[in-house]
Amino acid sequence: MKKIIPAIDLFDGQVVRLYQGDFNKLSIYSKTPSSLLHYFSKEGFDRMHIINLNGAYSGEFERGPNYAIICSLIEESKKWGVNIQLGGGLRTEKIIKKLLDKGLFKAIIGTLAIQNQKLLQKLLKRYKDDIIIALDVQNNIVSTQGWKKGFQIELNPLFKQFESQGALEFIITDISRDGTLTGPNFEIYKDLSKIKYKNTKLIAAGGISNLEDIKNCLKYTDGVIIGKALYENKVNIANLTKLKLKYDPTNLARRIIPCLDVKDGRVVKGIQFNNLKDSGDPVALAQFYNQEGADELVFLDISANLEDRGSIIPIIKKVAEEIYIPLTVGGGIRSISEIRRIIKAGAEKVSINTSAVKNPKLIRESAQKFGSQSIVVAIDVKREGNLWEVYIKSGTESTGLDGIAWAKKVVNYGAGELLVTSMDRDGTQGGYDLDLIKELYKAVSVPIIASGGAGTHKHFYEAINAGAEAVLAASLFHKRMLSIQDLKVYLSKKGIKIRI
Amino acid sequence: MITVVDYGSGNLRSIQKSIIRFYPNVMISKDPELIEQAKAIILPGVGAFGDAIKDIQQNGLYEVLIEKIGRVPTMGICLGMQLLFSYSQESSGIRGLGIIPGKVLNIKNEISSSIKVPHMGWNRLIPISEPYFYGYAYFNHSYYCRPENRSLVICQVNHGMTIPVIILKDKILGVQFHPEKSKRAGDTLIQYFVSLIEK
């Protein structure tokens, strides 16, 4: 995924563009900044670059008419599901924290990074994932302060220095090109792409005049900011939208899914919530996770007597009717009539495990009857070298089936999603089995829910990068070792699409 | 009275309850006479296109739905939106309600294999004309609606392609996501639907 990021520069409350950073050469494009946020959002863009030009000039972010407008833009961005990167006169920790608390996605710092090393280090320590360092460059020399005062620092060593201090994301603008529509300075980006760390994100800005410029920049960078060319119709918005779809094809958010074991209508196993009166009540827990921002829930019915699903059906109904969180129900499902009861009760999906192996026809028939999107096949595997063997009956019986081949087969039968648990990793909190996820991602066309091994924020990030559409965990969430909200913010700042 | 048409699909109480918050009289029914009297109709749907049409026919609802949809405000949800069309690749021998000209097509045939299908989870709505609906909504489908008249599409999403997700034709709303599970975006859509009744 690479980002095309429309720019909105604010001066005295209006949207403007400067020519080479010169305040005397300014064009006004709009008097209502929020209408531009809506406009770009309607074209499918989900990240915007906003600069407070008055702030950049004066060094006082909150002075003047821009500040109130910026606050309302941040509010709007949350409603529309858009991320804002914001800069221009962010010089103190206080203002950066204030804006982040309001829901700002990333704070862009330029002058501060160069002039105040102590504060920079503090910021990178506390807000590493929230900070973008912007460097304005002319002939490989970095300049600052609203482009007015000159400094003589070379770009590449400074870039490496910031990187080693923990900076994760950079915007590099060639100011001799900015606003000139003469094409960007590709050499800078090419050079930086060679010396940067693998995970460092590089965004190009300045001089973009057509779609070819964007494509050429994105050969070396993770994103490109486009301003003037868009406002002056050098780039047609419909064509830009098409290009966005190519580099950033889906806005589908990755899902975080807590899994609950339910026995005879009660949640069992290690639920430790102090603030819940009855931590065994599945409906109360569903409500809790719904409020915390879980995207779906999985109920695993482990009741001894599953004949009529007597205990879980009323719970599914209650969750569907009162909490509205999408629900997948699994555990010992053997027949179409069981699936029908569960779906009619209000579950979005059912998950089949042992029966899928014993009776693969069940997958095909249920997918035909209820649609593939309702049928999840759960696969439990144990690693043998670079192969994974499928186990059934809650991991107690080996099948001799190869996990990857089995995954392909069940998708052919009609499974709409795979819930894959690494038994080796389950309960270890040492991270998901990334090789497994990568192999599955290549092998099948349906979404994969990764399960088994989550212990830290980073583990979720790795699983998603390996190709998991959704990530599942149980005791990690139940024991409050990490909160879903915090996890979602973390992933979002890492550039993962997340519903917050 | 808003009538949620019960032809044997998923939990209609969740739809009913989510609408009651904005409009007091919501009934679930499969009685053609009661549907005939409805002030507005919700056509829900979970499952496959062909089975749903068969269920509608077996319940004797096909004619009354064709008669009624469009005369009163109607909202087709998920598969219920797709049923408003005549043809679906999911069940090519079976004719849908045929109220909106166009086709229901398999997403998989149109996009790169690196994008996963079914389109499952929360996607960001991209409003294209008024009334604007925005924010994240919950999807779970493999097929999508392509109306002949593109100007009926008022909202779309990106998932390897642009997928139309809300269509509006006079009093008929078709929505591909699940408003009852889509929190704020779903609520605003339901409120808009209710406003169609009061117009």
Residues of chain A neighbouring B178 (CB-CB closer than 8 A): 326
Please name the residue of chain A whose CA is at the shortest distance from the CA of residue B117.
Answer: A446
**What residues make up the domain containing A137?**
3-247
- With 70 as the cut, is the pLDDT of residue A99 above it? yes
Q: Which long-range contacts (CB under 8 A, 24 or more apart) does A23-27 make?
A: A23/A53, A23/A57, A25/A179, A27/A231
A499 falls within a domain: no
Per the domain annotation, does A73 fall within a domain? Answer: yes
Q: How many domains does chain A have?
A: 2
* Closest residue in B to A255 (Cα–Cα): B121
Q: What is the DSSP letter of A254?
A: P
Strand, coil or helix: A270 = coil
Among A321, A325, A343, beta carbon nearest to B13: A321
Same domain, A208 and A330: no
Q: Which of A49-58, A266-275, A388-397, B108-117 has the lowest mean pLDDT?
A: A266-275
User: What domains are defined for chain B?
Assistant: 2-198 (3.40.50.880)
Are A253 and B124 an interchain contact pair (Cβ–Cβ within 8 Å)?
Answer: yes
Domain termination residue (choose one: A247, A272, A307): A247
**What mean pLDDT do residues A276-291 have?**
84
Question: B93-149: per-residue pLDDT in tens?
Answer: 999 999 999 999 999 999 998 899 999 999 999 999 999 999 999 999 999 999 999
- Cα radius of gyration (chain B): 15
* Range B49-76 average pLDDT: 96
Average pLDDT, chain A: 92
Helices (H), A293-421: 313-318, 336-345, 354-358, 361-370, 403-413
Chain B CB contacts of A321 below 8 Å: 11, 13-14, 17
Same domain, A133 and A86: yes
Distance of CA A246 to the CA centre of its chain: 18
Q: What is the pTM of this model?
A: 0.94
- Residues A166-179: what's their mean pLDDT? 89
Residue A210 in domain: yes
Q: What is the pLDDT of residue B8?
A: 80
Residues of A in contact with B181 (CB under 8 A): 324-326, 348
pLDDT for A308: 64
CATH number of the domain enclosing A339: 3.20.20.70
- Whether A415 and A372 map to the same domain: the answer is yes
Highest mean pLDDT among A302-311, A342-351, A408-417: A408-417
Residue A207, phi then psi, degrees to nearest 5: 85, -5
A27/A85 same-domain check: yes
Helices vs. strands in chain A: H and E counts, helices first: 21, 23
Whether residues A324 and A390 share a domain: the answer is yes
Q: In percent, how much of chain B has pLDDT > 90? A: 93
For residue A498, tell me if it sits in a domain.
Answer: no
Q: Based on the domain organization, do A362 and A290 belong to the same domain?
A: yes
Mean pLDDT of A264-287: 74
Q: Which of A247, A274, A306 is the last residue of a domain?
A: A247
Give the catalytic positions of A in this structure. 261, 380
Min Cα–Cα distance to chain B from A492, Å: 14
DSSP state of B110: G
The answer, yes or no, to whether the previous bond of B101 is cis (omega within 30 of 0) is: no
Q: Which of B48, B114, B157 sits opposite A370 (nearest CB)?
A: B48
Measuring CA to CA, how many Å separate B139 from each of A76, A298, A308, B119?
Answer: 23, 17, 29, 7
A277 and A199 both lie in a single domain: no
Report which of A160, A130, A125, A168 is spatially closest to residue A142, judged by C-alpha positions. Answer: A160
A440 plus A398 within the same structural domain: yes
Q: What percent of chain A has pLDDT over 70?
A: 95
Residue A346 has pLDDT above 60, yes or no: yes
Instruction: With a cut of 50, say whether residue A280 has pLDDT above it.
Output: yes
**A57 or A180, which is more confident?**
A57
**Domain's final residue, options A224, A247, A270:** A247
A349: CB partners within 8 A, 6+ apart: A326, A327, A328, A329, A373, A374, A375, A376, A416, A417, B140
For residue A324, give the nearest of B125, B140, B181 by CB distance: B181
Looking at the fold, whether A39 and A143 belong to one and the same domain comes out as: yes
Read off the pLDDT of each residue in A160-167 and give the average, rounded to a whole number: 97
Task: Identify whether residues A308 and A238 lie together within a single domain.
Answer: no
Closest Cα partner for A347 from A312, A394, A304, A303?
Answer: A312
Which string of DSSP letters, residue by residue, matches A418-480? EEEEETTTTTT-S---HHHHHHHHHH-SS-EEEES---SHHHHHHHHHHT-SEEEESHHHHTT
Give chain B positions within 8 Å (CB) of A81.
Answer: 124-125, 134-136
- Which ipTM was obtained for this model? 0.95
- pLDDT confidence of residue A277: 53
pLDDT in tens, A123-160: 999 999 999 999 999 888 887 654 455 557 899 999 99
pLDDT score for B174: 98
Q: Are residues A454 and A368 in the same domain?
A: yes
Regarding whether A181 and A328 lie in a shared domain, the answer is no
- pLDDT given for residue A146 in this prediction: 47
Residue A276 has pLDDT above 70, yes or no: no
User: What's the token pair of residue A449?
Assistant: 């829910």
Question: Mean pLDDT, chain B, as a whole number?
Answer: 95
Our answer to whether residue B198 is catalytic in this structure is no
- Give every CB contact of residue A465 below 8 A, 6+ residues apart in sequence: none
In a domain, A500, yes or no: no
Compute the average pLDDT of residues A398-412: 98
Q: Minimum mean pLDDT among A177-181, A310-314, A470-474: which range?
A: A177-181
Q: What mean pLDDT do residues B28-34 have?
A: 96
Distance separating the N- and C-terminal Cα atoms of chain A: 19
Record: contact B122-A249, CB cut-off 8 A? no
